[in-house]
Amino acid sequence: MQRGNSAASRDIAFHLHPYSNHRRLERQGELLVTEGKGVRVKDEAGKEYIEGCAGLWCTSLGFGEERLIEAAARQMRKLSFYHSFHHKSHDVVAELAERLVAMMPVKMSHAFFNNSGSEANDTAVKIIWYYNNARGRPRKKKIIARFKGYHGVTVASASLSGLPNNHRSFDLPIANIRHTDCPHHYRFAHAGESEEDFATRLAENLDLMIQREDPETVGAFIAEPVMGAGGVIVPPRTYYEKIQKVLKKHDVLFIADEVITGFGRTGKMFGTEAFDLKPDIITVAKALSSAYLPISATVVSEPIYQALADESDKIGIFAHGYTYSGHPVCCAVAIETLKIYEERDIIGHVQKVAPRLQNGLRQRFANHPLVGEIRGLGLVAGVELVADKTTKAPFDPNQGAGNILTAETNKHGLILRQIGDAQAFAPPLVISEGDIDEMLDRFGKALDDTTARLAPRQRASLRA
């Protein structure tokens, strides 16, 4: 590969990218972003883009928020680092833990801090295992996740993720992980099956799975209130009501993965509220600090905390933690982020502007020949491309429909999250109605250009 002097060429030469096809990266290059302000970013050539997925679903307050920048600088000068190991701590982590537990949508007890959503869910797995050992139930260790669910990329959290590419060539999943149905009515409902009947069938399948596995071996069920990286999948009506009855019947704990949905994305502070969930553990990350610094939390109920505390006393230690757990600078930024959510009524703002996104997508693109389904709520949405609207037939992967649309959105100054042949919208929560309109205009142009590029390929496919 020829090396140049640009930042992009040096990046490709030396940087091992996450979630990338490295040979394609070498052949086609990359989009290298150099600055951002509000809901917009610029690349190294100075071209401006609307960041329609808030980076990775995370930059909730947009780019360049001075209060967060100042919070980091102020804390850096006061206490640049301290830890929480071996009965030590610091004032900033104490304040954040208190705030976070108080704002949980269901009664919780203690918050454990990690550095990413992956680590938050990895910690949840270890806590489930530790908890059941403490309860004298050493067999109750299996965790059920869902096909197309996404929970991270550590060994445990990638195993929970129900996406084949997270397992291929990594020798995953590990033992004691199981996967049940994906609650995507559009793709997986039987002909004529209502949302409620689909939800009933999925709950019955979960019940049967737990019985087959033996309830005495099943410790927990994990779910995103709205699936993110699986394609922005909103559960069918009555789904969680029925699923939670099954979990209660078999004494299976519920982990709510709020890494994407936490802090306003759905129009509620937490997705747990949007769907009346009653989890035993809640994991949060991303918008906890508006992604300005890496921090996440695994928040546990009082019964779980008491069992952990007793076991740590029995064996001498709860031997889990990271060097940067509860890093004071990250905690300071998270505290300021939570203050901004409250002071600026970010939830109220999301509720005000979300219809502009949801209705705009449906009104403008539902009848587009390439669009199969538009789904979402709050400020998160997905648009799925199909080769045939009537049969819902997907495109042949060789046609690269999703890749073409991604290239076209970038050309028109819009960055979205490609998920196969679907595009995810999750803009910063501070986005205005005017910026939503501009985002939809750019998407419309990209969609039309994609149609023109795909037409010859579709005709060739039909001839073949």
Q: How does strand 371-377 pair with strand 296-300?
A: unpaired
* pLDDT at residue 464 is higher than 60: no
Cβ count near 80 (within 10 Å)? 10
Eight-state DSSP code of residue 254: E
Specify the residue for token string 């100054």.
Answer: 413
- Return d(Cα 321, Cα 344) in angstroms, integer: 34
Task: Give 258-267 pLDDT, tens digit per residue.
Answer: 999 999 999 9
pTM of the predicted protein model:
0.95
Residues 6+ apart with CB under 8 A from 326: 83, 84, 89, 90, 92, 93, 96, 97, 113
Looking at residue 457, what is its pLDDT?
59
In the predicted model, what is the mean pLDDT of the chain?
Answer: 96
Q: Taking the CA atoms of 347, 295, 382 and 274 in sequence, report the sign of the dihedral they define.
A: negative
Task: Give 300-322 pLDDT, tens digit per residue.
Answer: 999 999 999 999 999 999 999 99
Eight-state DSSP code of residue 234: P
* pLDDT at residue 459 is higher than 60: no
What's at 208, amino acid-wise?
Answer: L
Percent of the chain with pLDDT over 90: 96
HSE value, Cβ hemisphere, 13 Å, CA-based, for 354: 20
Report the candidate in 279, 280, 277, 272 with the shortest Cα–Cα distance to residue 304.
280
- Return d(Cα 289, Cα 332) in angstroms, integer: 9
Residues 223, 256 contacting (CB under 8 angstroms): yes
* pLDDT at residue 2 is higher than 50: no
Report the candidate in 447, 392, 380 with the shortest Cα–Cα distance to residue 417.
380
Tokens representing 58 are 């995370």
Which residue intervals of the chain bear CATH 3.40.640.10?
67-343
Task: Give 68-127 pLDDT, tens digit per residue.
Answer: 999 999 999 999 999 999 999 999 999 999 999 999 999 999 999 999 999 999 999 999
| pLDDT confidence tier of residue 461, bands split at 50, 70 and 90 | low
Which residue intervals of the chain bear CATH 3.90.1150.10?
31-64+348-463
Tokens representing 169 are 């060539």
Q: Which CATH code is given to the segment(s) 31-64+348-463?
A: 3.90.1150.10
Eight-state DSSP code of residue 314: H
Q: What is the dihedral of CA 206, 211, 212, 217, to 10 degrees?
A: 100
Looking at residue 455, what is its pLDDT?
79
Task: Give 160-212 pLDDT, tens digit per residue.
Answer: 999 999 999 999 999 999 999 999 999 999 999 999 999 999 999 999 999 99
| pLDDT confidence tier of residue 460, bands split at 50, 70 and 90 | low
Q: Tell me how far CA of residue 321 lies from CA of 118, 293, 405, in angstroms.
A: 14, 18, 42
Looking at residue 463, what is its pLDDT?
43
CATH level 3 topology of 67-343: Aspartate Aminotransferase; domain 2 (3.40.640)
Looking at residue 5, what is its pLDDT?
79
Looking at residue 218, what is its pLDDT?
98
* pLDDT at residue 9 is higher than 50: yes
In this prediction, residues 274-294 reach a mean pLDDT of 98
In this prediction, residues 15-30 reach a mean pLDDT of 93
- Return d(Cα 52, Cα 64) in angstroms, integer: 16
